[in-house]
Structure 1
Amino acid sequence: MAPSSNAYWPPSPGYWPSSKFSSMGFYKGFRNLWGPQHQSLDQNALTIWLDRTSGSGFKSVRPFRSGYFGASIKVQPGYTAGVITAFYVRYGLERSYNKVFSLSNNEAHPGFHDEVDIEFLGTTFGKPYTLQTNVYIRGSGDGRIIGREMKFHLWFDPTKDFHHYAILWSPKEIIFLVDDVPIRRYPRKSGATFPLRPMWLYGSIWDASSWATEDGKYKADYKYQPFVAKYSNFKASGCSAYAPRWCHPVSASPYRSGGLTRQQNRAMRWVQRYLMVYNYCQDPKRDHSLTPECWG
């Protein structure tokens, strides 16, 4: 739902965590994971694409146990239904599809991994992209994976220019940020509902026609191939899995202890009020006994 006032941009968060972390060259922090023929690097701007033969993905060279993970991303305009562009962290076996950006540990713990996602869900002509955030805890991979999805429209067109998307993960919380505006905070309420094992950082593009666009109503149409995503301004800073125990988790706010300022919370509430289009905790079709953080 669009804002009813003239203010179509969120209030200033008053703090810009992306400015606190240095950018890195792609090959300093990442390697190709699959689809190398569908990746190209030009002056530290990475282009990956999907066509009928394959998508592509990349992965951080080291795992982390906390940190700030960001990239500036530009996605393709036009018909992109069924296509996922992702950035994510994961604990544990890489699946054969693309994520925009995420943390994960699936290779270390196949079938029992944790994952934190930012994903662009492809769209049809004239409709906006949906940005999906998700948290998986000890996913089974056998159809019983419990997703914790929150979906948003954006206050800008992500096809026109690069914008910065980030995940901040600490032992206390996960914060999703877009251009330094917090859009979601997922606090640790229990060890059973929060990822604590080391995770790697990934990015990818892939065909998810079965569910990505309006629950699979619209599929990838390869007459519009290739589907292209561009990444730059890579940031991955924090405590690696090999760092000493005294390594201090990073923060998304001026508070070293974590959390958000009042101004950051105000900006996040604005986004969730006007631009959130799905919240798993408010979905009556979900079994909320499986997501105790929604009522606990």
Structure 2
Amino acid sequence: MHSPLERSLPSLSLLLFLWIISSISITTTFRPAKAFNVTTLTFGESYSPLFSKFNIRRSPDDRTVSLLLNRLSGSGIISSDYYNYGFFSASIKMPSKYTAGIVVAFYTSNVDTFEKNHDELDIEFLGNVPGKAWRFQTNMYGNGSVSRGREERYRMWFDPSKDSHRYSILWTPTNIIFYVDEIPIREVVRNAAMRGDYPSKPMSVYATIWDASSWATSGGKRKVNYRFQPFIAEFKDLVLEGCIVDPVDQILSSNCTDTAAALMAKDYSTVTPETRKSMRWFRQRHMYYSYCYDTRRYPVPPPECVILPSEREMFTSSGRPKSKTRAGGSQRRRSTKRRSKAAVDLSRHQAAM
């Protein structure tokens, strides 16, 4: 017969193992990958108020700008220049507490100059309900192709209201990459069959916060609750790298040719085999809608879509996930085992970067 202590050893061993795994996850999950080599700007060097200047707050050193939403209005900023291709980035901290119905957006557009045939690249955060994972989407329009939106939606693997994280848009003549920190989450490679659907006209860079109660969270079921106002989105580490142009003339100088070539030679302009593993990990675990797999909407996938069997098996014909877990239920309902496995997986991928 075994003593009570001997009988408890397997349980103690299991607890010790789980504690070690948990410790590894905590210490490595949030270890930053190698940062991009970029130059950050002050607000005055890079942006101007777009609307509701009274809801825009600049830090004393002018390197952080806070955009507020309250009952009076949302707010927004716009880059002081237009760019013909570029790398645009900001470290953003989302509003905290109850943020359902609120959209925080970081995007490029030229709709103010090309109203009927504008281009646009979007990163939009879709508000949040406490206890659930934050959701966000990326989208692309070219030459006014608003009826052919190319949106993908994802769940965050962290709480973006706790700390600032870097969100970036790379736009070159040959490819577009969306980044969260240094992890590429989506790449669009230019295809000749896309024609004008590939953004090609000079664009400004925008950051906004606004009330989107009608659609942003749970299809509009969750509205903005102004008892928690003001809602504050903080932007810092502002990066605008590209060729400054006149959007009307669109006469590209040799300097723009040189700038585009230099941009395409940067480390963030290529998805390497190592970072592609991270992108695949992210998309398989956290993407919950893709237009490329929405065969009801697009019986023939748009030409830039690269259909991966590992992704296709995740989705129904509506482009939505087969599994409720992939759709992103409450974080509280997930088991400890699933959380630990996801954390370990992320640790492995970030360690490889």
- Range class of TM-score, shorter chain: 0.7 to 0.9
Match of 2:164 among 162, 165, 172: 162
Match of 1:220 among 218, 224, 241: 224
Q: Would you say how many aligned residue pairs link Structure 1 and Structure 2?
A: 271
Matched AA of 2:102 = V
* Greater mean alpha carbon deviation, residues 238-247 or residues 114-123: 238-247
Match of 1:231 among 235, 243, 248: 235
SS in 2 for 1:235: strand
Evaluate the alpha carbon distance shift between residue 217 and residue 138 of structure 1 in structure 2; reply closer, same or farther with a 3 A threshold: farther
Please say if 1:194 is aligned against 2:198. Answer: yes
Matched AA of 2:47 = F
- Aligned equivalents of 1:175, 1:53: Cα separation in 2: 35
Task: Tell me what 1:25 maps to.
Answer: 42
**Structure 1 stretches lacking a partner, 5+ long:** 90-103
Evaluate the alpha carbon distance shift between residue 291 and residue 74 of structure 1 in structure 2; reply closer, same or farther with a 3 A threshold: same
- TM (normalized to structure 1)? 0.83
How large is the Cα RMSD of the aligned pairs?
A: 2.5
- TM (normalized to structure 2)? 0.71
Shift of 1:115: 0.5
- Aligned equivalents of 1:53, 1:109: Cα separation in 2: 29
Please say if 1:261 is aligned against 2:278. Answer: no
Match of 2:97 among 78, 95, 102: 78
* Greater mean alpha carbon deviation, residues 199-208 or residues 118-127: 118-127
Task: Tell me what 2:151 maps to.
Answer: 149
- Say if 1:10 and 1:270, in contact at 8 Å, map to a contact too: no
Match of 1:126 among 126, 131, 141: 131
- Say if 1:181 and 1:268, in contact at 8 Å, map to a contact too: yes
- Aligned equivalents of 2:84, 2:30: Cα separation in 1: 31
Match of 2:184 among 177, 182, 185: 182
- Say if 2:143 and 2:198, in contact at 8 Å, map to a contact too: no
**Structure 2 stretches lacking a partner, 5+ long:** 1-20, 247-252, 308-353
- Aligned equivalents of 2:50, 2:225: Cα separation in 1: 25
For residues 119-161 of structure 1, the C-alpha deviation after alignment (integer angstroms, 9 at most, x for no partner) is 1110112112112111112236xxx532211112222211111
- Say if 2:292 and 2:301, in contact at 8 Å, map to a contact too: no
* Greater mean alpha carbon deviation, residues 151-160 or residues 37-46: 151-160
Please say if 1:112 is aligned against 2:117. Answer: yes
- Say if 2:133 and 2:157, in contact at 8 Å, map to a contact too: no
SS in 2 for 1:248: helix
Task: Tell me what 2:68 maps to.
Answer: 49
Shift of 1:76: 1.4
Moved over 4 A (4+): 5-15
Evaluate the alpha carbon distance shift between residue 231 and residue 211 of structure 1 in structure 2; reply closer, same or farther with a 3 A threshold: same
Instruction: Report the identity percentage.
Output: 38
Relative contact order, CA 8 A, sep 6+: which one is greater? Answer: 1
- Aligned equivalents of 1:264, 1:295: Cα separation in 2: 17
Evaluate the alpha carbon distance shift between residue 10 and residue 195 of structure 1 in structure 2; reply closer, same or farther with a 3 A threshold: farther
For residues 193-249 of structure 1, the C-alpha deviation after alignment (integer angstroms, 9 at most, x for no partner) is 210111000000011112111222212222222211000000001222255343232
- Aligned equivalents of 1:13, 1:133: Cα separation in 2: 23
Matched AA of 2:270 = G
